[in-house]
């Protein structure tokens, strides 16, 4: 199945495990030109993370996480309140 989703910058996303993140920028891996997503945790120390765009947009592995309620690993949140 082809994934037609794209990362929306400067939006709040919920990870399927429940934590919230803000997307900051699309960047490129200098080694292989692979598109990457830079995002920031909205909890704790506010760490910065990077992940491939493809991985950021992937579906949750329902075999590994059968109780996950979200369909996608990260989903945009419309009603986030910190």
Query: Per-residue pLDDT tens for 6-33?
Result: 999 999 999 999 999 999 999 999 999 9
Going from the N-terminus, what domains does the chain have, and what CATH number goes with each? 12-69 (2.30.30.320)
Provide CB contacts within 8 A for 13, sequence distance 6+.
20, 21, 22, 23, 39, 74, 75, 76, 77
Longest dimension (CA), the chain: 37
Flag whether pLDDT at 3 surpasses 60: no
Query: Per-residue pLDDT tens for 43-70?
Result: 999 999 999 999 999 999 999 999 999 9
């Amino acid at each position: 199945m082809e994934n037609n989703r794209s990362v929306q910058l400067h939006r709040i996303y919920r990870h399927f495990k429940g934590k919230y993140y803000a997307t900051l920028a699309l960047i490129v891996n200098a080694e292989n030109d692979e598109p990457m997503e830079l995002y920031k945790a909205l909890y704790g120390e506010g760490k910065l993370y990077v992940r491939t765009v493809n991985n950021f947009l992937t579906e949750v592995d329902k075999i590994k996480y059968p109780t996950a309620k979200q369909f996608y690993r990260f989903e945009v949140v419309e009603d986030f309140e910190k």
